Chains A and B, each alone.
Chain A
Amino acid sequence: GESVGLHLPTLSVQEGDNSIINCAYSNSASDYFIWYKQESGKGPQFIIDIRSNMDKRQGQRVTVLLNKTVKHLSLQIAATQPGDSAVYFCAEGAGNNRKLIWGLGTSLAVNP
């Protein structure tokens, strides 16, 4: 049968606030995790990745936290800007397997 469209989880924040986007991953054997940003009508863009031997990694205005105990990943965006409005996906991979397992995505809306 045809697939049914799902409503993406949506996070709405005020410009300048910090944003936290959460992701529960599925495979306890996954040893790397990636966050992507997808703007409307475009392909996903890499934001940041983290290996399973780390629990935190920081980039420019972004921080990724990994909690392997509960299989949880989060992306923190500091001082959120209107240009951060997009859908954010987490993806997980294991070893040399090139296939990524993708989350469903979270829509971030930044209010001016």
Chain B
Amino acid sequence: DGGITQSPKYLFRKEGQNVTLSCEQNLNHDAMYWYRQDPGQGLRLIYYSQIVNDFQKGDIAEGYSVSREKKESFPLTVTSAQKNPTAFYLCASSHGGGVEQFFGPGTRLTVL
């Protein structure tokens, strides 16, 4: 089945630790995105990548880092510099010229 996978579904970390969230897609999409969603709120863009080895900051990039070494993978690292990392993280992808973004199931990160 084609789609986007995010792992793990739930993640717990201690304050001050970096943590990396996985996002993989087998849709052959060029563009990939990371969003953050807080309770009762909309989606806020963290980073996006339109092609391999290139990515741009979104609206709330501070405290996060990404890499795009392969077309199918776009991992997000939540660093200790992120002041309030507990949130629901969503990864998405879209194909060239398309407007629709396809979403993964999300990872709920809780920092204790």
Contact = CB atoms under 8 A, between A and B. Distances in A.
Nearest to B84: A2
Given A42-B106, A43-B90, A32 B99 contact: yes
A5 B106 contact: no
Q: Which residue among A2, A42, A49, A93 has the maximum number of chain B CB atoms within 10 Å of its CB? A: A42
B95 to A, nearest CB: 11
Interface in A94-112: 98-100, 102-105
Interface in B34-64: 38-45, 48, 50, 58
Interface in B64-89: 84
A99 B48 CA distance: 8
B42 A43 contact: no
Contacts of B48: 98-99
A8 B106 contact: no
Given A43-B103, A43-B104, A44-B90, A99 B45 contact: yes
Given A32-B99, A34-B100, A98 B84 contact: no
A89 B42 contact: yes
A102 B42 contact: yes
Interface of A: 2-3, 5-8, 32, 34, 41-46, 49, 89, 93, 98-100, 102-105
24 contacts: A2-B84, A3-B38, A3-B41, A5-B38, A5-B39, A8-B40, A34-B99, A41-B108, A43-B92, A43-B106, A44-B103, A45-B103, A46-B102, A49-B99, A89-B42, A93-B99, A98-B48, A98-B94, A99-B45, A99-B58, A100-B45, A104-B41, A104-B42, A105-B42
